[in-house]
Structure 1
Amino acid sequence: MSRIAFIKNSLEYLPEIEIYKDYFSNLGLQVSIVEHPEDILNADIYWFFMGVEHKKKVSGLHIHEYASLSTPPYGIVKDKIKRLINIVPDGRVFLNETIKQKAFFNDHVPFTYRDMGVSEHFFRKNNNITKEYDFVYIGSLSAKRNIRKLLQCFSEKYYQYTLLVIGECPNDLYNDFKAFPNIIFSGRLNYKDIPALACKAKCGINYTPNIYPYKYQTSTKVLEYLAMGLNVCSTRIEWVESFAKNKKIDNIQFFNESLIDFRPEDYLSNGEYWAHIKEYNWDKIMDKANLLNFIHSIIKNRRIDEHSK
């Protein structure tokens, strides 16, 4: 076992794939990132970010990773269909236990967990950076997230506060709000360039609907905001509320998705840096996941199964 191929759709935004590449390369494996498994026929392991794999087109170990579930509309229905049509892989990787439970696999395929982490360049380096913006929003601006409501709130009610928006913006959304001087669109940035700009804000906004599957997913945005030393305000998402409560994080404050209780003035005072965010550094996350050991266990089980036939 020395060659591993990660199958990545060209439209997918997966910054963690570079983490995988570095992790396995440092362990001595040859790593490739391709769009189709047929693009590399001599890999020992094919790692899919699901997705669909309804037919096994190449030999080797096949691992299916579920960092999320299907998004609206009809997310639950789409997941049921995928469960019926996907091949049975040699192993599965889930973001967390909740994602595994909601995926409803009823078989004995080996599995493990790999949570989201934060890249080193997000961790606060300069405490004295000049703040130029009140708030920053990083992430998806798709209609599924209903970001228009947040932008309307800043353009109509809270125009005295500035909002920096980092991410690829649909044309209709940009055209509707570009004229408001307090809403600043950066466009999509190189992943490594995000912290240098986002750190100039006082508070990071996590505006996410509390619906399937978003409410079950680790909020990478929240982790990154904390790593940068920003205050955090968030819609009441199941994962974020549980995380803040269990970790006893005081500088995450909550508001309703309707924004009826959104109070900008309450979110801008200097909060205490949450030092335990260092536990979410990608190196620690990958060490905890111990994926190479997981692969070795799959190979061992496969050999046992072959000998028993």
Structure 2
Amino acid sequence: MKSLCFVHQSKAQLPELQAYTDYFRPRYHVEVSNPAADLSGYDIVWFFMGFSRYQPQPGQFIVHEYASLSTPPLARVKDLIKRQLNATPDLRVFQNKTQSRLMRFNDAVPERFRDMGIAGHFKQQLDAGKKCDLIYAGSMDKSRRLEHALDVVLKLRPHTSIWLVGQPSVYLQQRYQRYANVRFMGPVPNSQIPALLNQARFGLNYLPDVYPYHFQTSTKLLEYAACGLPVIGNKNSWVTDFLNQHPLQYHDLQQLTAWPQPQAADISDQSRQAWRWQQRIADAGFETILPG
């Protein structure tokens, strides 16, 4: 059995890492390591990019996955540097074709496309009691500009109870420290997030309508929808396309003049299945190119 090593720099959350491990374990001896480790003994080395100048051993198959393009500030400059400095792999993986086009590698390296997914435990719990008005589960780094959404909500309805799930930024904690109704829940294991989502009346989906957020999948929106949550948030091109395909109560922050009445999302089991990590990985077709 050939060996496969996923190389993770621990700088970003990678929910797909466990999904990949589970998916490939029947076919390969799978390990997870870091860039400083000795990678010379593996048949396949799969990097989550980042930067990488790793020079492979003879016969090694190298994968570069760009799960997301660089984020602000200077996102496009950082992507340019990656394009010029990163070593050439045997396979590149992108979330979608738009990512690939914008990275502009313009070489003959094969590509595969693997969309963002969710774990199977994201589902609606009809017996869950509602304990907060609005929940946000995701990144809270400064580039996400989450305060733009929170300020709109609190201006419209100052007493709204809000749960923020994830690693909080200091600036957000300082900005909302006088609001007793804004609760920072801290990082929560992925398996426990659905229970929190099901206790909320609405999910908050907010991403700045700037490069690269406006064409990348909002994983949190998939999670909210799978749990039956109606959503308050902003719109970008990806969100608009998603709403055209899926029946979901989605209230645009910029047009919100009164607090809405929640209506559970009517998402089909077929859609939930299509969003699951194992299906997303299967849809990418890695088996057609990875060494057997």
Q: Which TM-score band (shorter chain)?
A: over 0.9
- What is the DSSP-based 3-state SS (H/G/I as helix, E as strand, rest coil) of the residue aligned with 1:53? coil
2:249–2:264 CA contact under 8 A, matched in 1: no
Task: Report the TM-score when normalising by structure 1.
Answer: 0.87
Q: Alpha carbons of 1:233 and 1:278: their partners in 2 closer, same or farther (altered >3 Å)?
A: farther
Are the aligned partners of 1:178 and 1:184 in contact in 2 as well (CA < 8 Å)?
no
Summarize the Cα distance change of 1:260–1:242 in structure 2 as closer, same or farther, 3 Å threshold. closer
CA spacing shift, 1:279–1:24, aligned 2, 3 Å: same
CA distance in 2, matches of 1:210, 1:289: 27
Tell me which residue corresponds to 2:259. 265
Residue 160 of structure 1: how far off its partner (Å): 2.9
Q: How does 1:267-306 map to 2 (within 5 A)?
A: 268-275=262-269, 276-296=271-291
How far apart, in 2, do the equivalents of 1:178 and 1:208 lie?
22
- Distance in 2 (CA, whole Å) between partners of 1:43 and 1:51 is 20
Residue 279 (structure 1) shift: 1.4
Give the share of equivalent positions with the same residue, in percent.
33
Q: Are 1:161 and 1:182, in contact at CA under 8 Å, matched by a contact in 2?
A: yes
Q: Which residue of 2 aligns with 1:22?
A: 22
Deviation of 1:191 (Å): 1.5
Gap regions ≥5 residues in structure 2: none
Task: Determine the C-alpha separation between the residues in 1 that align with 2:250 and 2:65.
Answer: 32
Match of 1:64 in 2: 64
Residue by residue, what CA displacement relative to the aligned partner does 1:130-180 show, whole Å, maximum 9, x if unpaired? 111111111111111111223333444312322111011122321332331
SS in 2 for 1:184: strand
Counterpart AA for 1:202: R
Give the aligned partner of residue 39 of structure 2: 40
Partner of 1:121: 121
Letter in 2 for 1:21: T
Q: What is the CA-CA distance between 1:262 and the residue it aligns to?
A: 2.8
Once the two structures are superposed, the pairs formed by residues 185-204 of structure 1 within 5 Å of their partners are: 185-204=184-203
Superposition deviation, residue 285 in structure 1 = 1.4
2:159 corresponds in structure 1 to 160
Matches within 5 A, 1:85-124: 85-124=85-124
Structure 1 residues 267 and 209, CA gap change in structure 2 (3 angstroms): farther
- Superposed displacement of residue 83, structure 1: 0.5
What is residue 303 of structure 1 aligned with on the other side? none
Q: Is the 8 A contact 2:114 2:284 kept in 1?
A: yes
Aligned mates of 1:104, 1:10 — CA distance in 2: 26
1:211 aligns with 2:207: no
**Per-residue deviation, 1:57:** 5.5
Give the AA of the match of 1:117: G
- Judge conservation of contact 1:94–1:113 (CA < 8 Å) in 2: yes
The 10-residue stretch of structure 1 (271-280 or 99-108) with the greater mean CA deviation from structure 2:
271-280
RMSD after superposition: 1.9
Structure 1 residues 254, 154: closer, same or farther in 2, change over 3 A? closer
Q: 1 CA distance for matches of 2:200 and 2:257? A: 16
Residue pair 2:116, 2:280 contacting (<8 A) in 1 also: yes
The 5 Å alignment of 1:237-248 reads: 237-245=236-244, 247=245
The alpha carbon displacement at 1:238 in A equals 1.3
- The one-letter amino acid paired with 2:119 is S
Distance apart, 1:117 and its partner CA: 1.0
Greater share of helix: 1
Q: Which amino acid aligns with 1:179?
A: R
Q: 1:121 is paired with a residue of what secondary structure? A: coil
| Runs of 5+ consecutive residues of structure 1 not aligned to the other structure | 300-309
Tell whether the 8 Å contact from 1:112 to 1:294 is kept in structure 2 after alignment: no
Once the two structures are superposed, residues 221-248 of structure 1 have per-residue CA deviations (whole angstroms, 9 ceiling, x without a partner) of 1111111111123311211111211x1x
SS in 2 for 1:295: coil
For the Cα contact (< 8 Å) 2:52–2:87, is it kept in 1? yes
Q: Tell me the equivalent position of 1:306.
A: none
- Whether contact under 8 Å (2:138, 2:165) holds in the other structure is yes
For residues 175 and 203 of structure 1, the distance between their equivalents in structure 2, rounded to whole angstroms, comes to 24
Q: How many residues align?
A: 290
Shift of 1:18: 0.5
**Mapped contact 2:40–2:57 kept (Cα < 8 A):** yes
